[in-house]
Structure 1
């Protein structure tokens, strides 16, 4: 701030010394001329009078240097021009010279004080104009209120936000401008403008303590559009997650049909056996067994559909502490359909000490399903078709889920873009699966990454914060 004010002060006009010297010679010449004219025409017989007047004028108007030049010009001239005058004596000349010195010193000091006062006034004026322009033109909405709650200044940005079409001279109360608690003005506020528009404002304030009063500068930020944009973004993200789940299930279409048709076909066969047994007049015990088997397969198909329904339905983010082991097993039941459809072997290792994770179970299931689906597609056509899922807790307070496949690995050139939306090497792919997975994992305060294995295939893993299971914490206590 000191440097800034220094730049503002540099524009002050400094009087030129040469002008003062020219004025001194001009005053001296005028004094000599007036003294001669007054003596000869008007009968003014005071040889040193005009010299003293000139010294006084020069001292109090231009300063000591100017008055000194005037004195050195006019007093000798008065002595020379009035040498035969009875008042022009050595003693009188010395007295006049000494009196002139006193006038020069006193008048010069007064002139210096006046110039300092003028310079300070100009400096204050420039600073006032500068600060006023900053206050008025800044895009930051500001207003200043006194301890009585009266608005003493408000800039154009604040007037625009608040819908106030007044000048600074109009009386405004802070309670009218910002309704609500006045003791602690800072925080978020909802206000209704005169035109009916409702605004969400973020308000902060800074106290200003002066000698005779206390002021507070209040800063206003209109967050209405930002909040609306955030709500819209959240809605779009929810729709994108919904699209991701639908896309993932769409990629599993044939696998889902197989998983549902298989138990239904088995149930139909068992029902046919029961029907034949009844037609032959078999005993109830012989019929009960195929009917119970048919019911088991029907319930199995219903369970598959129920898991798919729970996965695909739209629901808000609801994080809760979930048993990680149970979550992985449930997620694998859906993802395993894609692996079996690819005629691949699924190897599963889930540690017993995974504990609990604070997650939205449906969204994390989507991540596991995406990784298993990608792995199943990757091993299709490979001589060795194997997919491995590992869930471990090797790092304290962290659960790591890893999916390894024996496919071709990450395509060259896609190592850095594998999580970028709409970047895919699949002919019929959208390129949103891994991008959505990263969004989900990041929202759960985890990390996700992938790499090509040295021996072939790819490894993808993601981490989630965890805590020990309640029974383990109880035993530790």
Structure 2
């Protein structure tokens, strides 16, 4: 039997089926690559693909990160891109907490948030400071995974007329004495399978904002991480 040349419509239909099959196979390949973190962003920087390898390496599930802006998880601090402006402090903290606390209720964590005057603004790069908060909150949740009492406290307060402070405190296992002096050093990790980059990046971000980040033991067990931000002063006008 002689195979006649396909019409334009048949050609387009065949191409579409081949493309759909290729995309399906590519999707299965990407999702199944558990040894490598594979992700894709849209032109606006939002996550569109997040495979199982990314879940394992980065610690975020597809449900938690798809559609989110990637800057929340890995800001470009290495390039010194800190675009600071006045941001409502408490709104910034609440927005970051809504992301960082995903899964906290199911893990039996009690969350307490105490915020100072709601009208105050901080002079910050919003995405970068929210990344710091998300990191600290996720660390706190992991620290309490095996604790009989799981209480996470997020507090905002004034330190001085120029400085605002944010604190994330947990009732977890606390910091091992041998880790206390190098907690914020790159590649020093309190997690068995951690890379030790999270707190180092947090320190880089906070210090780029003219602030300070530190950690103190909590009476009864746990750790309180706190960092300061510059208050956004109103311009005379």
Mapping 1:276-425, distance limit 5 Å: 305-309=66-70, 311-312=72-73, 316-353=81-118, 355-425=120-190
Aligned counterpart for 1:431 among listed residues 196, 199, 207: 196
Aligned counterpart for 1:252 among listed residues 50, 60, 64: 60
Q: 1:362 to 1:248 in 2, by over 3 A?
A: farther
Alignment length, in residue pairs?
A: 180
Q: 1:430 to 1:354 in 2, by over 3 A?
A: farther
Q: 1:367 to 1:404 in 2, by over 3 A?
A: same
Is the CA contact 2:73–2:131 (under 8 Å) kept in the aligned structure 1?
Answer: no
2: distance between equivalents of 1:380 and 1:313? 24
Is the CA contact 1:339–1:373 (under 8 Å) kept in the aligned structure 2?
Answer: no
Runs of 4+ in 1 over 4 A off after TM superposition: 246-249, 312-315
Offset at residue 458 of structure 1 (A) = 0.6
Mapping 1:33-72, distance limit 5 Å: none
Mapping 1:45-194, distance limit 5 Å: none
Kindly name which structure, 1 or 2, has the bigger radius of gyration based on alpha carbons. 1
SS in 1 for 2:205: helix
1:235-270 per-position Cα deviation (integer Å, ceiling 9, x unaligned) = xxxxxxxxxxx89992232xx62x5xxxxxxxxxxx
SS in 1 for 2:101: helix
Is the CA contact 1:415–1:451 (under 8 Å) kept in the aligned structure 2?
Answer: no
Offset at residue 307 of structure 1 (A) = 3.8
The two structures, once aligned, show a CA RMSD in angstroms of: 2.7
Aligned to 1:454: 219
2: distance between equivalents of 1:369 and 1:247? 16
- Report the TM-score, using the length of structure 1 for normalisation: 0.35
Is the CA contact 2:169–2:224 (under 8 Å) kept in the aligned structure 1?
Answer: yes
Is the CA contact 2:92–2:130 (under 8 Å) kept in the aligned structure 1?
Answer: yes
- Report the TM-score, using the length of structure 2 for normalisation: 0.67
Q: Structure 2 unaligned segments of length 5 or more: list them.
A: 1-53
Q: 1:248 to 1:460 in 2, by over 3 A?
A: farther
1: distance between equivalents of 2:74 and 2:212? 25
Q: Structure 1 unaligned segments of length 5 or more: list them.
A: 1-245, 260-303
SS in 1 for 2:112: strand
Is the CA contact 1:252–1:338 (under 8 Å) kept in the aligned structure 2?
Answer: no
Q: 1:424 to 1:341 in 2, by over 3 A?
A: farther
Higher helix share goes to which structure? Answer: 1
